Amino acid sequence: MIKKIAALIIGLGLISTTALALTLNGAGATFPFPIYSKWISEYHKAAGTQVNYQSIGSGGGVRQFIAGTVDFGASDAPMTEEEMKRAGGEVLHIPTVMGAVAISYNLPGVVELKLDADTLADIFLGKIKKWNDGAIAELNPGVNLPGKNILVAHRSDGSGTTHIFSSYMAKISSAWASQVGAGKALSWPAGVGGKGNEGVTGVIRVNQGAIGYIELSYAMTNKLPVVALKNRAGKFVKPSIASTSAAAAGALKKMPKDFRADITNAGGSDSYPISGFTWLLVHKEQKDAVKGKALVDFLKWSLSDGQKYAEALLYSPLPENLQAKVMDTIKSISY
């Protein structure tokens, strides 16, 4: 009898340890959380592996990854050299999906609005203060622009969306680069801050004359008008899943081997200029063989079967030739 109980206890112990070994823990960016949680539930059905993902923000994800409390991190901004050094060993950036940052506005009666890089920069720098400013009018002939004050809306919380937006602004405007710079949180020259994409969306929706940057999915679900931006090829392009994928394809030639690429202001006539990757952060040398294999399997699945879930959630899947390159990197993980 005692033997039986002992065997049972040992058996239970084994089950729970194997179950534990197959639980992967990750933390980081909030922007890809909808697609990651979709992947996690689909992958659990397909492979039985349990993945926990906590969307605590990119900065938090990087910190937890460096501290070694999670099996993988996630970030909308690539890790810096110094951060990678502190994480120890070789760190791989695995791009998973892409997103676009839309410029939305609230001007009743104005359905189409075109802006170029300089005008956009001057608006967000607070230099252009009224909607009927000559610079805006020149780009929008025939549009009846009101003499309203412009209210710039930006994120008050640190965010990967801000990182992508400000990386673009710093590229196209030297005044922005020297005065404001690029980062997840900035010292804003103008406007008001809203908390989260929903906060900025709220500011735009209730204030006539407001303009702000939000993730494309928020502009679409709230049916807010979006600005057509002049890209490097000189064409005015609205943000969409297709124009974001085009930006990645345009940046492919110059893609660095570690995928820490900034694809804002990408070449190509159909590219939307403010788009970016989101990455999973993993160690190249996995210490735990069982977990390492589970992680690699999950990554492989995400980059292949997982990609088809992206568009329904308004993310852009990676272009196919990039998927192949990323797959090679995933295969280089040792465990």
Angle, alpha carbons 207-213-167 (nearest 5°): 150
Binding residues among 45-104 for another protein as defined by CB under 8 A:
56-60, 62-63, 83
For 5-69, give the DSSP string.
Answer: HHHHHHHHHHHHHHHHHTEEEEEE-STTHHHHHHHHHHHHHHH--EEEEE---HHHHHHHHHHT-
Kindly indicate which of the ranges 43-51, 202-210, 257-265, 326-334 contains the residues binding another protein, using the contact rule CB under 8 A: 202-210
CB closer to another protein out of 193 and 267? 193
Please say whether the beta carbons of 300 and 273 come within 8 A.
Answer: no
Q: Does the protein bind another protein through residue 192 (CB under 8 A)?
A: yes
CB closer to another protein out of 146 and 158? 158
Q: Does the protein bind another protein through residue 223 (CB under 8 A)?
A: no
Among 49, 96, 106, 159, which residue sits at the site for another protein (rule: CB under 8 A)?
159
CB closer to another protein out of 204 and 219? 204
Q: Does the protein bind another protein through residue 203 (CB under 8 A)?
A: yes
Binding residues among 138-157 for another protein as defined by CB under 8 A:
156-157
- # of chain residues touching another protein (CB under 8 A): 32
Burial string for 300-324 (b: 16+ CB within 10 Å, else e) reads bbbbeebbebbeeebbbbbbeebee
Binding residues among 257-316 for another protein as defined by CB under 8 A:
none
* Nearest distance from C-beta of residue 332 to another protein, angstroms: 26
Distance of CA 133 to the CA centre of its chain: 32
Dihedral pair phi/psi, residue 171, rounded to 5°: -70, -40
Q: Does the protein bind another protein through residue 212 (CB under 8 A)?
A: no
The structure tokens listed for 44 are: 């659990």
Kindly indicate which of the ranges 193-201, 232-240, 295-303, 305-313 contains the residues binding another protein, using the contact rule CB under 8 A: 193-201
Please say whether the beta carbons of 292 and 284 come within 8 A.
Answer: no
Q: Which residues bind another protein (CB under 8 A)?
A: 56-60, 62-63, 83, 156-160, 180-188, 191-195, 199, 202-203, 206-207
